[in-house]
């Protein structure tokens, strides 16, 4: 029960796990709001560990970093300063070198917390009070998603577009009898921070959101770039969510070396701030669609993202929920 309630599953009301909620509340107590100075992450992690989450700063820091990585969190809750890692899989700098403060979206999760809006409970040593849930102004669970592995159960919720989710909320407020299918007019599917293309038929997506369980096929976004003398190359502009770019390139290079895909000649990483992977064919007479079809089948340029909306109702009871229930 401790792992399910206190560690692995998010609360449906604010979409946060206890460790994330405690970090944000500790930053609130330190007045680290937008417009204020950034503060060393070591101080934030120390306060969180000492006051609310007694498991050591080394386990709190990765959670803090996650909240400030724009390729993992759709609407970042932490405004970072310093090296917070990269989509390549590079690790962040040590917490004594990085700084952070609350982002605008986190401000909307905490607003009016001091005005008796939510229940407070004693912390682990009963010296202070901490919120059991944050007074979130928007459905953060759907907007930023969540994942976790508990005992005998797991959760995996993709991020969604904020505007679409708000429109769905307004539609629900206007019509309490609205169904999950009708809500999908406003929320047609996930919205991943790294982009990509969902290739799944609408019936399958509808069934997934109705039952709270299912999966989506997610592909990289690509285009053909034409060169001189009829030559061409493929440019991959967006890679699937949670795929490390460095490991993806290693896999593509391995496919070339082992001649598993003989029509692929070379792969180059020309990324700067944006993703730009260049795939060169063996010959200009090859069909780009056939080449990409082989790569989708044999690499992480296409993944299957599982959706499992297993969340805590009122912070206590785990339940797999439909889109409407969430």
Q: Does residue 77 contact residue 70 with C-beta atoms inside 8 Å? A: no
Which tokens in the block code for residue 259?
């001649």
Q: Across-strand partners of 156?
A: 147, 308
Q: For 306, which DSSP code?
A: E
Q: What does the DSSP assignment read for 44-91? A: HHHHHHHHT--S-HHHHHHHHHHTT-TTT-SS-SEEEES----TT-PP
Helices (H), 212-282: 245-257
Q: Does residue 298 contact residue 254 with C-beta atoms inside 8 Å? A: no
Active-site entry in 33, 61, 97, 138:
97
> Can 138 be counted among the known catalytic residues?
no
Q: At what angle do helices 41-51 and 57-66 cross, to 10 degrees?
A: 120
- CA distance readout (Å), 309 to 6, 26, 159, 252: 17, 28, 12, 33
- The two counts, helices (H) then strands (E), for the chain are 11, 16
Mind telling me the catalytic residues?
97
């Amino acid at each position: 029960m401790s792992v399910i309630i206190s560690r692995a599953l998010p609360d449906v009301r604010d979409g946060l796990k206890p460790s994330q909620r405690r970090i944000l509340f500790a930053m609130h107590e330190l007045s680290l709001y937008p417009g204020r100075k950034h503060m060393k992450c070591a101080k934030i992690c120390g306060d969180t560990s000492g006051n609310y989450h007694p498991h050591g700063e080394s386990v709190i820091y990765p959670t803090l970093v996650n909240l400030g990585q724009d390729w993992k969190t759709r609407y970042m809750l932490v405004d970072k300063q310093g090296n917070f890692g990269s989509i390549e899989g590079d690790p962040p700098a040590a917490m004594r070198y990085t700084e952070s403060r609350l982002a605008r979206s986190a401000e909307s999760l905490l607003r009016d917390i001091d005005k008796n809006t939510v229940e407070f409970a004693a912390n682990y040593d009963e010296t202070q009070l901490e919120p059991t849930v944050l007074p979130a102004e928007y459905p953060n669970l759907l907007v930023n998603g969540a994942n976790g592995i508990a005992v005998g159960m797991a959760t995996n919720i993709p991020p969604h577009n904020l505007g679409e989710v708000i429109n769905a909320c307004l539609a629900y407020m206007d019509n309490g009898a609205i169904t999950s299918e009708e809500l999908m007019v406003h929320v047609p599917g996930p919205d991943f921070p790294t982009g990509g293309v969902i290739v799944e038929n609408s019936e399958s997506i509808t069934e997934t959101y109705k039952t709270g369980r299912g999966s989506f096929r997610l592909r990289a976004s690509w285009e053909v770039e034409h060169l001189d003398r009829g030559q061409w190359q493929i440019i991959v502009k967006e890679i699937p969510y949670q795929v490390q770019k460095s490991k993806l390139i290693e896999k593509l290079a391995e496919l070339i070396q082992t001649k598993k895909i003989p029509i692929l000649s070379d792969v180059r990483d020309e990324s700067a701030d944006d993703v730009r992977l260049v795939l060169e064919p063996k010959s200009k007479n090859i069909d780009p669609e056939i080449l990409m079809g082989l790569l989708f089948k044999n690499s992480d340029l296409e993944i299957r993202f599982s959706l499992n909306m297993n969340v805590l109702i009122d912070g206590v009871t785990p339940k797999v929920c439909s889109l409407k229930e969430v």
